[in-house]
């Protein structure tokens, strides 16, 4: 029984992962990107960060995500899937499942930042740190659910190799998108600090597509908080992300012509 379910999982896995592990044809066919998943952070009882003036991360994230979606629909021929479009709780597991089920080519998660001290400000763009994920993989599957049901059962070698290739690919692509977003943000909002960072155990390591997470300003900083309140600033951020996605899409569709 165990083997059957393992085989089934592997098949599911191959189906969802191999296209991008080999040749990346799900991303690079036709006009480039087909489906973009936008994920507004937090929601419902999870307010996320909170500004001194009561501005909530979950609200800013949703508003920016909705305008980004509208801009994408107006400017690109693609599907846009939102993980949430209202103010309600949504687990990370559900976000990941929704993204995978929609067979997205790119996931963009929108957040605001917060720091311990009030001086720290700026935009931060995060992508998956492949080396860090790999390190944990090599240690074995004794983490996560595997820990509870079967310790040291040993993952299938093929599965490990495929997963390894896929994660490395998603990580590279995610890093590329992150750089494009940084470039476009710096162009559109030159007086804002934009930092790139790689993270080891980001929430989206289980999604089968490249992903980035953007904290579009620090709610704990007075200047940033005022900007985040301003509709013009939020639209500029969305515009920069749209332009980055456009560029990314162009590069991808270019790659398919032989």
Partner 1 sequence: MKRYIFVFIFAVFTTGMVGYFALYYKGSENTRRVVSTPLSIDKRDVVLYFSSRDEENLVPEIRQINLKGTLEEQVAEVIRELINGSKDLINTIPDGVKVHGLKIGRDGILSIDFSRELRENHPGGSWSEMLTIYSIVDTVTGNFPDIKKVKMLIEGREIETLVGHIDTKRTLMEKRDIIMDDKMRKG
Q: Does 49 bind partner 1 (CB under 8 A)?
A: yes
**Residue in this structure with the two tokens 């749209």, named with its chain if needed:** 242
Nearer to partner 1 (CB atom), residue 72 or residue 167: 167
Residues between 129 and 188 that touch Zn ion (CB under 5 A): none
> Rounded to the nearest whole angstrom, what is the least distance from the CB of residue 258 to partner 1 in the complex?
39
Stretch of residues binding partner 1 (CB under 8 A), selected from 163-171, 179-187, 194-202, 241-249: 194-202
Residue 132 interacts with which of partner 1, Zn ion, none, CB < 5 to 8 Å by class: partner 1
Q: How far apart are CA 60 and CA 62, in angstroms?
A: 5
Joined tokens for residue 64: 């920016």
User: What span, in angstroms and rounded, lies between the C-alpha atoms of 12 and 83?
Assistant: 22
Would the CA dihedral through 192, 193, 197, 201 be positive or negative? negative
Q: How many residues bind partner 1 (CB under 8 A)?
A: 41
Q: Does residue number 116 form part of the binding site for partner 1 (CB under 8 A)?
A: yes
Among residues 221 and 252, whose Cβ is nearest to partner 1?
A: 221
For residue 244, what are the contacts with CB-CB under 8 A and spacing of at least 6? 177, 180, 181, 183, 184
17-25, 73-81, 119-127, 172-180 -> range binding partner 1 (CB under 8 A):
119-127
Q: Residue 14: how many CA atoms within 13 Å on its side-chain side?
A: 8
Indicate if the alpha-carbon torsion angle 160, 10, 22, 180 is positive or negative.
negative
48: contact with Zn ion by CB under 5 A = yes
Structure tokens at 82: 């939102």
Q: Which does 126 bind (CB under 5 to 8 A by kind): Zn ion, partner 1, none?
A: partner 1
Among 7, 92, 101, 158, binds partner 1 (CB under 8 A): 92
Give residues with Cβ within 8 angstroms of 111, minimum separation 6.
41, 42, 48, 57, 61, 213, 214, 215, 216
How far apart are the C-alpha atoms of 109 and 125, rounded to whole Å?
10
Q: Which is nearer to partner 1, 112 or 171 (CB)?
A: 112
Question: Which listed range, 22-30, 111-119, 171-179, 184-192, lies at the site for partner 1 (CB under 8 A)?
Answer: 111-119
Residue 111 binding Zn ion, by CB under 5 A = yes
CA distance 76 to 189: 23
Is residue 32 part of the contact set for Zn ion (CB under 5 A)?
no
Q: State the Cα–Cα distance between residues 6 and 40, nearest whole angstrom.
A: 33
Taking CB under 5 A as the binding criterion, the range among 11-19, 36-44, 141-149, 232-240 that sits at the site for Zn ion is 36-44
Q: List residues binding partner 1 (CB under 8 A).
A: 41-42, 46, 48-50, 57, 91-93, 111-117, 120, 124, 126, 132, 135-136, 139, 142-144, 147, 151, 197, 199-203, 205, 213, 215, 218-220
């Amino acid at each position: 029984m165990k083997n059957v379910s393992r085989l089934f999982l592997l098949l599911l896995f191959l189906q969802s992962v191999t296209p991008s592990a080999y040749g990346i044809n799900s991303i690079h066919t036709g006009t480039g990107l087909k489906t973009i998943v936008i994920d507004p952070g937090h929601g419902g009882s999870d307010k996320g960060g909170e500004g001194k003036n009561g501005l909530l991360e979950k609200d800013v994230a949703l508003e920016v995500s909705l305008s980004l979606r509208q801009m994408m629909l107006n400017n690109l021929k693609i599907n846009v899937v939102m993980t949430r479009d209202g103010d309600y709780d949504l687990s990370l597991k559900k976000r990941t499942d929704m993204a995978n089920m929609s067979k997205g080519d790119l996931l963009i998660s929108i957040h605001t930042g917060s720091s311990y001290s009030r001086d720290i400000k700026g935009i931060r763009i995060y992508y998956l740190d492949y080396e860090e994920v790999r390190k944990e993989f090599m240690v074995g599957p004794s983490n996560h659910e595997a820990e509870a049901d079967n310790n040291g059962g040993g993952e299938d070698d093929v599965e490990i190799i495929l997963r390894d290739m896929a994660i490395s690919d998603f990580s590279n692509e995610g890093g590329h998108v992150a750089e494009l977003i940084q470039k476009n943000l710096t162009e559109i909002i030159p007086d804002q600090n934009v930092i790139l960072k790689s993270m080891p155990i980001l929430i989206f390591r289980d999604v089968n597509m490249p992903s980035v997470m953007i904290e579009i300003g620090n709610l704990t900083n007075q200047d940033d908080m005022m900007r985040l309140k301003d509709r013009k600033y939020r639209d500029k951020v969305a515009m920069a992300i749209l332009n980055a996605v456009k560029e990314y899409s162009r590069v991808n569709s270019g790659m398919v012509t032989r």
